[in-house]
Structure 1
Amino acid sequence: MESSLWMPTRPWSLPFLADAEQVSSLRRALRTHLEYWGLHELRDAAELCVSELVANVIKHVGVGTPSTLIASLNGPHLRVEVHDPDPRALPTLACTGMDAEEGRGMMLVDAISDRWGVELTGDRKVTWCEFRMSVAGADRQTPMPRLARAADVLGLYSGSNSMSRPVGSGRLATAVAEEAAIDIITDLLYWFRVHGRDADDVLDQAQAHFEAESAARLS
């Protein structure tokens, strides 16, 4: 079964302080998550756009500004957002040549992404850009519901929404995911016991559901 079927339905977010030294870490974190989601073809473009969006915050809002990087699926597009608390400093396209040292940020975003924009939400600003996934990637965005929900729950138990390394990427992360899955099952067994249910009976029912659904998919 392809790992892309484990793609979570929840957006991934990473709070950060806008600083030039943080850019490389943000790029690595985003690359790791895009690899985890199976969107290898979008890594370079998304990384470059994130660098420009963060640089825009640093220059026009200020060094050390509390910000958030968010990646999510929006229909057939990968959506990357940078949130900052200043709705007044709006990014614009500068009419500069490509050899200019300043003013190129949003021009690069405009050229590399399929579309971009700015949303004002009260006391904060969201600058976003989107990249259309390939046909294969678009197919991957509709995973089997149970696997998508499982990925979401594993993310909660492993803390992958706040960590730079997600569940499901590499041998170490797989071990973390397995440990999280065991914790989930253990907690559920405690829950059933508290509510007067027999744990073995519950496990038997779950196994029966699993085998029935597996057989139905193979038929």
Structure 2
Amino acid sequence: MQRKPWELCFTAKPEEVAYLRRVVGLHLGSWGLLEVVDAAQLCVSELVSNVITHVGHGTPATLAVSMSGPYLRVEVHDPDTRALPTLLDAASDAEGGRGMALVDAIADRWGVLLRPGRKVTWCELATGLASANGHVGGAGVTRAEALIGLYGTSQQLCERSSSALGISMAEEVVVNVITDFLHWLSAHGCDADEVLDRAQTHFEAQIEGSGGMGRRGL
């Protein structure tokens, strides 16, 4: 799976936080990273709120999301290189700094980078992936992805076997392929039952259109 970095410019206002959370949730869902959606959305909320509170309401800023090896990286860019995030102890009575304490508790690591004319506050979350383009869900998802690529690039001709053993082996292969695709659907947050129902309907329509008589339910 290709997980390309993306950026979104926004204005630092409280009403923007919910929108940014939704955008992050949608992107991570399409990346198959459902397990880190809640943590990532919470980090986005705190990083953006930090800009609103300590840099200023209405500040032009940028949200950037990317993969850093097997880690999900969330960055918030703002133009103030002087107002650096402060990490306070959770027991402190001070009102400021609690947001970064929450980020520190959730993220695997975080930090601040100073660039010409801007500041980058970032955090990284472990995804459990083996690589930036790897899959969540195990070997079944990986095999299904390979099959998807194969189906999309070539037409394969299959030899038909009339022996009972050959048919039995072929059915076992088909069962394993369907199982792997169900793993892939689950890993990407899709409704597997709904997809199976659509496949059954499509199959039945094709059978009826070709004049076929017998069928078995999926």
State the TM bucket, normalised to the shorter chain: 0.5 to 0.7
2:61 paired residue among 61, 67, 73: 67
Query: After superposition, where does 1:203-214 map in structure 2 within 5 Å?
Result: none
- Match of residue 133 from structure 1: 127
- Match of residue 76 from structure 2: 82
* 1:83-105 per-position Cα deviation (integer Å, ceiling 9, x unaligned): 00011100010134288754310
Gap regions ≥5 residues in structure 2: 137-141, 150-187, 191-218
Does the 8 Å CA contact 1:27/1:51 hold for their aligned counterparts?
yes
* 1:3-51 per-position Cα deviation (integer Å, ceiling 9, x unaligned): xx2x33x311110000001000000000100001010000000100110
Distance 1:15 1:99, change over 3 A: same
1:122 shift after superposition? 1.1
* 1:111-152 per-position Cα deviation (integer Å, ceiling 9, x unaligned): 0000000000011000000001114675239998xx8xxxxx
- Is 2:115 aligned against 1:121? yes
State the superposition RMSD in angstroms.
2.7
Gap regions ≥5 residues in structure 1: 148-167, 171-219
* In 2, Cα distance between equivalents of 1:92 and 1:140: 35
* In 1, Cα distance between equivalents of 2:104 and 2:28: 20
- Match of residue 50 from structure 1: 44
Distance 1:24 1:134, change over 3 A: same
**Secondary structure at the counterpart of residue 16 of structure 2:** helix
Larger Rg: 2
* In 2, Cα distance between equivalents of 1:25 and 1:43: 14
- Match of residue 103 from structure 2: 109
* In 1, Cα distance between equivalents of 2:70 and 2:85: 25
Distance 1:100 1:60, change over 3 A: closer
> TM-score, normalization: structure 2?
0.59
Does the 8 Å CA contact 1:96/1:103 hold for their aligned counterparts?
no
Does the 8 Å CA contact 1:39/1:137 hold for their aligned counterparts?
no
Higher relative contact order (CA 8 A, sep 6+): 1
* 1:160-188 per-position Cα deviation (integer Å, ceiling 9, x unaligned): xxxxxxxx999xxxxxxxxxxxxxxxxxx
Identity of aligned residues (%): 58
> TM-score, normalization: structure 1?
0.59
Does the 8 Å CA contact 1:116/1:129 hold for their aligned counterparts?
yes
Equivalent residue letter for 1:77: Y
- Match of residue 34 from structure 1: 28
* In 2, Cα distance between equivalents of 1:23 and 1:33: 16
* In 2, Cα distance between equivalents of 1:98 and 1:134: 33
